[in-house]
Structure 1
Amino acid sequence: MTSLLTNISAMTALTTLKGINSQLDATSNRVSTGQRVSAAADNAAYWSIATTVRTDNASLSAVKDSLGLGSSAVDTAYNGLNSVLSDLQNLRAKLQTALQPGIDRAKVQVEIKAIQDKMRSTADSSISSGQNWLSVDSSPSNGIYRATQSVIAGFSRTAAGTVNFSMIGVDVNAIKLYDVNASSITTAATSAKIFGATSLTGTTAFAGGTANFNGTNEVAFSLTLGDGSTGTIRLNRTALASAAADLTKVTTQEFLDAINNQIAADTDATPLAGKVTAGLDSSGRLTFDTVATGATAQVTIQNVAASGGNALVDVGFGTGTAATDARTGRGSAAGTTAGKGILDTADGGTGVSVATIDISTLSGTAGDTTLRAIITQVEQVIAKVTDAGTKLGANKTQIDGQKTFVDTLMKANDRTIGILVDADIEEESTKLKALQTQQQLAVQALSIANSGGQNILSLFRS
């Protein structure tokens, strides 16, 4: 039935056309933006995740910039130290020359003064982003000085949304060459500590990463502290039976736990419990560290004879049991140290610093003795500057490694965002072409449906 009031065919064609136009709009948007999720309405969950990851990448980008600035500052300080190290080696050569008979030390001093001035100039000009880590002013009145300069190395977000930043610390106090501050710095008392000769996994017992205590292998030693506390630690098949999951593959952690358990359970007349702990240092060496600090803090390790026909194995302290094989670590008392830098700190023996060495008036046997002491002082300073360069090198390696990690993480985040929101352009372009064709057909269908009423009118014409 055909109706003049209701054109069912036109309504159907119009609905179809609207649906096609809606799909066409969505597909056109995906093709133009390159994203299948460009707004929360497209997919709320994916949009939320992608937005969070984009925010993380923005933070990581800032971290990467910070690492770049930190790397530049470390490079500047390292290059300055390297230059000063060469100058110190030259200075040592000049001092050795001055030991020769007949040398005019006043003329040699002119050359030494030039080297001293060059080292000072190098340190003063080692500036990066307004920071100088070689020539500083650690005076309390200098509010901008930081004994440890921190470089932002990364960030993390907790489940509660709290953002935490990790830092790489550069110990400026350990590398500074000159310091305006002439006051002394209070140093805290230290504990007593002894170290194994090599990493635990580098010893015979743990050569494969784990140790076999299922046979006759045994570790046995006594620990004696400065207050007279003493105890014997014995680790063998019997002792480790309850501490290790597999006696043929005892891990370093199981081994450490067993030592600390025996220390905690020590029942000797003067027990060790609560006074010393075993651990591994950054090099993986077995260490024993006292809880007590100060000049009286002391810990001595001495291997003792194995029990029941077992054989002693080395865990970094050898297998000898003679008194001469004992090793002792001592703590230090709280005190003060000069707040000056490596080059302007006066030596206790010579009374002068490298920055103020003057050999022009040294003469005779006494002068030769003083000059030899100065040469020894310069040798020690060279070692300190070398150590400072090593510390900066380690910081540089850490910063460069973190930069690589952050860059890799940002790329991984980009891939995550792409998986969630990027459109498949090949698929969308094909769909776009099909929808355009469907749109044309729908328009024609609507046009045909609308012309149906005109056909009815022709029946009423005479």
Structure 2
Amino acid sequence: MTSLLTNSAAMTALTTLKGINAQLDMTSNRVSTGQRVSAASDNAAYWSIATTVRTDNASLGAVKDSLGLGSSAVDTAYNGLNSVLSDLQNMRAKLQTALQPGVDRAKVQTELVAIQSKMKATADSSISSGQNWLSVDSSATNTAYQATQSVVAGFSRAASGSITFSTIAVQVGQIKLYDTNATSVNTPATAGQVFGTTSLTGTAGFTGGTANFSGTNEVKFDLTLGDGSAATITLNNTTLSSAVGNLAAVTTTEFLDAINNQIAADTTTTPLAGKVSASLDSSGRLTFKTTATGSGTNASITIQNATATGGYTLVDVGFGTGTAGTDARTGSGSAAGTTAGRGILDTVDGTTTFSVNTIDISTLVGTAGDTTLKNIITQVDKAIASVTNAGTKLGANKTQIDGQKTFVDTLMKANDRTIGTLVDADIEEESTKLKALQTQQQLAVQALSIANSASQTVLSLFR
């Protein structure tokens, strides 16, 4: 039926055309942006994930830049140390020459002064990004100085959304060559720690990664602190029965929780509670550490196997062979104190009254002079060892930074692939779809034109 009031064919054609145009707009947007999810309205979940990953990648980019700056600073300091090490070796050779009879020590001293000046200039010029780790000023008035420089090496996002940054510590206080600060520097107190001999999962008690306490196996040791606090920690099928899910397969986490629970529950006259805790170190070794620091209260720990009772058999978990009373271990913290605020080359030696930077052999004569010169050679030998050790530490820092740079770069590429998987459009597919939709659009326009011409055909009947 043909109606003059309602053109059903035209309405159908128009609806079809609108649908095709909507798909055409979406496909055109995907082709032009290269993304199938470019806004939250396209796919809220994918857009949210991709946005978070992009944010993480931006943070990783900043971490990569930080590692680059840190690597540059480490390289600069390392090159400076290498140069100074060569100078020290040359200085030692000159000093040894000065031991020979008939050598004019005043002339040798002229050469030593030149070497000393060169080493100081090398240290002073070892600057990267405004930082000098070889020639410093550790005085309290210099707020820019940090004995430990932290290079941002990574970050992690917890399920709660909180961000935690990891760092690589460069111990500037241990590698500095010169320090204008002649006064003492405060050093922090340290906690007492005791470590097992091997990884917990590598002991006989945890063969296969878990321990079997369903039978007669027992871990029992005496734990004593410096203030007299003491308790016997006992772990067996009785004490663990209510604390673990499976006595035949006790995990390391359950094992640690059980130890810490017994420490927390200690009600002896001088309890351990709140003073010490058990954990695993980076090597997986069972570790006990005091919560207090210093050489006084709670700073020291002694641990040894106790005597098994009730038919139980002692099991080794890294603190001995399982025999009662064997392999007692003690670890003490250090009290807060002070250390000389000088570097490797400007610290005055108590025997020679010189620092490497101020050595003067021009007036050394006779037997006493020869003795002093030998002491100076020993002093320079010690400086060479110290600079070599500093270079080793910087080399380890360099290796760690380079490894982290490689990891961060790999992680950023993996994140890019993740983003691509979620939001990138398949251009080949979308371009093919675009061509098809353009053809459909043309056909829909023609269909609408035909539908609109039907009323004209009806009018011709009245002519």
Instruction: Please indicate, yes or no, whether the TM-score normalized by the shorter chain is above 0.5.
Output: yes
How far apart in 1 are the matches of 2:126 and 2:45? Answer: 51
Compared with structure 1, are the counterparts of its residues 349 and 42 closer, same or farther at alpha carbon in structure 2 (3 Å cutoff)? same
Contact (CA 8 Å) 1:196, 1:287: kept in 2 or not?
yes
What residue in structure 2 maps to residue 70 of structure 1? 70
Change (3 A) 1:407 1:86: same
Task: Give SS of 1:451's match.
Answer: helix
Which residue is 2:116 aligned to? 116
TM-aligned CA distance change 1:24 to 1:370, over 3 Å: same
Q: Cα deviation per residue 1:86-107 (whole Å; 9 max; x = unaligned)?
A: 3223323333333334433223
- Among 387, 403, 406, the alignment partner of 2:405 is 403
Could you say which residue in structure 2 is the equivalent of 1:35? 35
Name the count of aligned residue pairs: 460
The answer for the alignment partner of 2:174 in structure 1 is 174
The verdict on how the C-alpha distance between 1:4 and 1:332 changes in structure 2, with shifts beyond 3 A counting, is: closer
Partner of 1:59: 59
Secondary structure in 1 matching 2:349: coil
Q: Contact 1:135/1:177 (CA < 8 Å) preserved in 2?
A: yes
Unaligned runs of 5+ in 1: none
Aligned partners of 2:218 and 2:234 also within 8 Å:
yes
Distance in 2 (CA, whole Å) between partners of 1:261 and 1:44 is 45
CA distance in 2, matches of 1:439, 1:166: 56
TM-score, structure 2 normalization:
0.79
- Give the SS at the match of 1:16: helix
Pairing of 1:61-460 with structure 2 (within 5 A) = 61-158=61-158, 161-190=161-190, 281-282=281-282, 293-294=294-295, 315=318, 332-460=334-462
Partners of 1:5 and 1:255 in 2: how far apart? 85
CA 1:392–1:448 in structure 2 vs 1: closer, same or farther (change >3 Å)? same
How far apart are the structure 2 equivalents of 1:97 and 1:242?
76
Structure 1 residues 281-290 or 328-337, which shifts more?
Answer: 281-290
Greater shift, 297-306 or 117-126, is seen at 297-306
Deviation at 1:368, TM superposition (A): 2.6
Query: How far apart are 1:81 and its partner, in Å?
Result: 1.7
The one-letter code of the counterpart of 2:436 is A
The 3 A distance-change label for structure 1 pair 211 and 444 is closer
CA contact (8 A) 1:217 1:313 kept: no
Higher mean C-alpha displacement, 404-413 vs 234-243: 234-243
**CA shift for structure 1 position 376:** 2.6
CA–CA distance in structure 1, aligned partners of residues 165 and 59 of structure 2:
10
Q: Which range is displaced more, 167-176 or 234-243?
A: 234-243
Instruction: Look up the SS of the partner of 2:169 in the other structure.
Output: strand
Which shows bigger deviation, 38-47 or 274-283?
Answer: 274-283
- CA drift at 1:116: 1.6
Determine if contact 1:217/1:312 at 8 Å carries over to the other structure. yes
SS at match of 1:358: coil
- In structure 1, distance between residues paired with 2:321 and 2:366: 50
Cα 1:315–1:366, aligned 2, differ >3 Å: closer, same or farther?
farther
Deviation at 1:38, TM superposition (A): 1.8
- Asked whether the equivalents of residues 179 and 344 of structure 1 are also in contact (C-alpha less than 8 Å), the reply is yes
Instruction: Return 291-300 or 423-432, whichever deviates more.
Output: 291-300
Q: Which blocks of at least 5 consecutive residues in structure 2 are unaligned?
A: none
* CA 108–399 in structure 1, closer or farther in 2 if over 3 Å, else same: same
What amino acid is the match of 2:38?
A: S
Q: Which residue of 2 aligns with 1:24?
A: 24
Alpha-carbon distance in structure 2 between the residues aligned to 1:190 and 1:40: 52
Give a deviation string over 1:287-308, Cα, whole Å, max 9, x none.
Answer: 6656573289666678899999
8 Å contact 2:148–2:170 — kept in the other structure? yes
- Determine the C-alpha separation between the residues in 1 that align with 2:206 and 2:385: 34
Task: Give, as a single letter, the amino acid of the residue that structure 2 aligns with 1:455.
Answer: T
Q: In the alignment, is residue 47 of structure 1 matched against residue 47 of structure 2?
A: yes
The answer to which of 386-395 and 351-360 deviates more is 386-395
Percent sequence identity over aligned pairs:
77
RMSD of aligned Cα (Å): 4.2
CA distance in 2, matches of 1:402, 1:389: 20
Whether the 8 Å CA contact 1:35–1:422 is kept in 2: the answer is yes
